[in-house]
Amino acid sequence: MHAHLPYVRHPEHEDFLEEDWLYEAITETYLPMLMKMDAWLSAKHPARITMSVSPPLSEMLSDSLLMKRYRTRLERLIRLAEKEVRRTRHDSRFASTAAMHLERLNRCAHTFNDVYSRDLLGACARLQDEGILELATCSATHAFLPHFAADPAFVRAQIRIAVDAHRTHFGRHPPGIWLPECGYYRGLDQFLADEGLCYFFVDAHGVLNADPAPVHGTMSPIVCPSGVLAFPRDPESSQQVWSADSGYPGDGRYLEFYRDAGHDLPAEDLEGFVLPDGGRRNVGLKYHRISARHVPLDEKEPYDRVAALEAADTHAGNFVFNRTHQIDHWRRVMGRSPVIVAPYDAELFGHWWAEGPEFLDLVMRKAIYDQDVFRVSTPTDVIHSGLDFQAAQPSMSSWGAGGYGEVWLNEKNDWIFEAISEASAELQRVLARYPTPSTLQSTYLNLLGRELLLASASDWPFILTMGTSVGYAEAQVRRHLDRFNIVRQALSLEGKSGDADIQARMALVDEMLTIVDRDRIFLKYDHRLFLEHFRPPWFDER
């Protein structure tokens, strides 16, 4: 699973809509999945699962302000769910679903506050230490790296800072990395090897088009020229879950994502959830099932939890059955055990597909106890399995629409790439001018690098391409680029004593304080990670 969200933090507002992305994911995906993993641990199931956690997500999950706001949000949701239980108590169509939501939210609150002590990263680290969970990293701000192939300093910094952040949050060097959007280009693996990473994931065609052609297709990882392993996504197992037409989540018995009480209930019943302009937001209380794809939202049928769980059980059984036949077939063809890689966005399980955590739990249990053809493994397990893997050069690829890079660079968002490229070149020029910076100059240089990284997140060009939250995405990129220029101006004035220089520097004080306070990400990172010759303190521990 790949867990990532764009970095969103707005302390200047008491309630900010885009922060909901994090709060929804915690309630609907991260807490439910961690609870499933803890259940596997308690039952002593030999479960193994890999999850990459992006640095922006890690930074938000460790942010005291955001976690305090999440707790407040959860308390408000519980109060709303309690009102909903009272409202629907005589309505046989919705009473049980309202009770389900209240029980779910109370369980999340208990787990978040009392079991995990509001520390989800600590829960991940503990599950890692117990052998259930393998934690991988992602690039520093989820930049689409193939578009920066001509800027090795930028790519190196994205990888190094990700490793540094992972070590800070989880106490271990990450064994591998999820390349943002599975974006790979020739030579990228060497940057991974340089930072002590052993594996990454690519879409199927990244390996199918490798040089030389892979003997086992997507049924085995390949060894890149750097020695790092590339694990290809299996199209068959992906299609059964991801496909909009035939994937499991589209079954009519499952909860309908797009029909939400936040839009259905009267505004007076949604205290604390209606936006200042009267607009509505999702609250996660949903009462209807998908029914059929062609059915309008206002005609969706009431949700039946029992039927939905029966569907999850059936689909989990079908998934495991298909894997046993797939693996048995390829074992005969290959004369050895194949490796099936089934990666998904973590938010699919619970947020987009409400029954996703139950499906994954059932898949794990059935894979462990109901068959003897294969076993669940992590990439590190595979690396240590003793299997030999073919050496080959993967091709440029991504898992985005079209399979390459057009989602993140097109006529809707190309201005971003040009601006970031210019800022990155300027950062290198500035770093060269300050080979031995003072403490204050180092602070400025750190801020320059941070704003560049935040502006380069792949989330923003993706949103511009898809046409959702366009205003916010564009504002975020421009805000970080503007801050980059403000910091650069402040740095250029440092040490100058002329009256005009002092006045200009004083005029920037408030803006600089805002920049320092607004985003609390990578607070301890070192700007020297942008320099090729710099060896991080952990370099020899890789």
Q: Which tokens sit at 403?
A: 């399979």
Report whether 253 contacts 289 (CB < 8 A): yes
372 shares a domain with 433: no
Report whether 176 contacts 493 (CB < 8 A): no
Q: Decide if 537 is inside a domain.
A: yes
pLDDT-based confidence at residue 504 (cuts at 50, 70, 90):
confident
pLDDT at 243: 81
Q: How many residues does the chain have?
A: 542
DSSP assignment letter at 68:
H
Q: What is the pTM of this model?
A: 0.96
Q: CATH code at 467?
A: 1.20.1430.10
Min mean pLDDT across 101-115, 328-342, 350-364, 480-494 is at 480-494
Average pLDDT over residues 92-96: 97
Query: Of 168, 209, 159, whose CA–CA distance to 58 is shortest?
Result: 168
The phi and psi torsions of 447 (rounded to 5 degrees) equal -65, -40
Return contacts of 269-276, CB within 8 angstroms, 24+ apart: 269/80, 269/83, 269/87, 270/80, 272/76, 272/80, 273/76, 273/80, 275/17
Average pLDDT over residues 307-315: 98
CA distance 384 to 376: 14
124 shares a domain with 170: yes
Q: What is the pLDDT of residues 371-402, one digit of tens each?
A: 999 999 999 999 999 999 999 999 999 999 99
Domain carrying residue 151: 2-62+119-246+304-383
Min mean pLDDT across 321-335, 357-371, 433-447 is at 433-447
Q: What is the pLDDT of residues 6-60, one digit of tens each?
A: 999 999 999 999 999 999 999 999 999 999 999 999 999 999 999 999 999 999 9
173 shares a domain with 221: yes
pLDDT at 540: 74
190 shares a domain with 134: yes
Amino acid letter, 147: H
Q: Facing residues of 135 across strands?
A: 51
174 shares a domain with 32: yes
Q: Decide if 177 is inside a domain.
A: yes
The phi and psi torsions of 143 (rounded to 5 degrees) equal -75, 145
pLDDT-based confidence at residue 511 (cuts at 50, 70, 90):
confident
Q: What is the pLDDT of residues 398-421, one digit of tens each?
A: 999 999 999 999 999 999 999 999
207 shares a domain with 328: yes
CA distance 225 to 218: 18
Query: Of 111, 11, 8, 90, whose CA–CA distance to 54 is shortest?
Result: 8
Q: Which tokens sit at 27?
A: 């309630």
CA distance 467 to 326: 38
Q: Is the pLDDT of residue 92 over 80?
A: yes
pLDDT-based confidence at residue 79 (cuts at 50, 70, 90):
very high
Q: What is the pLDDT of residues 228-241, one digit of tens each?
A: 999 999 999 999 99
Q: Decide if 259 is inside a domain.
A: no
23 shares a domain with 165: yes
pLDDT at 507: 76
pLDDT at 253: 98
Q: Decide if 517 is inside a domain.
A: yes
pLDDT at 354: 98
Q: Mark 334-355 as b/e (b = at least 16 C-beta within 10 Å).
A: eeebbbbbbbbebbbbbbebbb
pLDDT-based confidence at residue 514 (cuts at 50, 70, 90):
confident
Q: Which tokens sit at 477?
A: 């990129």
Q: What is the pLDDT of residues 149-190, one digit of tens each?
A: 999 999 999 999 999 999 999 999 999 999 999 999 999 999
134 shares a domain with 169: yes
426 shares a domain with 377: no
Q: Is the pLDDT of residue 542 over 70?
A: no
Q: CATH code at 199?
A: 3.20.110.10
Q: What is the pLDDT of residues 193-229, one digit of tens each?
A: 999 999 999 999 999 999 999 999 999 999 999 999 9
CA distance 358 to 36: 8
Q: Is the pLDDT of residue 500 over 90?
A: no
pLDDT at 517: 83
CA distance 56 to 64: 14
- Identify the domain boundary among 332, 367, 383: 383
The residues near 42 (Cβ < 8 Å, ≥ 6 apart) are: none
**Number of domain units in the chain:** 2
Q: Decide if 268 is inside a domain.
A: no
pLDDT at 501: 67
pLDDT-based confidence at residue 248 (cuts at 50, 70, 90):
very high
pLDDT at 505: 74
Q: Decide if 292 is inside a domain.
A: no
330 shares a domain with 197: yes
Written as one string, the DSSP assignment of 115-147 is: ISTT-HHHHHHHHHHTTSEEEEEE-TT---GGG
CA distances from 169 to 53, 62, 104, 349 (A): 10, 8, 28, 23
What percent of the chain shows pLDDT beyond 70? 99
Q: What is the mean pLDDT of the chain?
A: 95
Q: Decide if 289 is inside a domain.
A: no
240 shares a domain with 143: yes
pLDDT-based confidence at residue 497 (cuts at 50, 70, 90):
low
Q: What is the pLDDT of residues 106-146, one digit of tens each?
A: 999 999 999 999 999 999 999 999 999 999 999 999 999 99
379 shares a domain with 435: no
Q: Decide if 14 is inside a domain.
A: yes
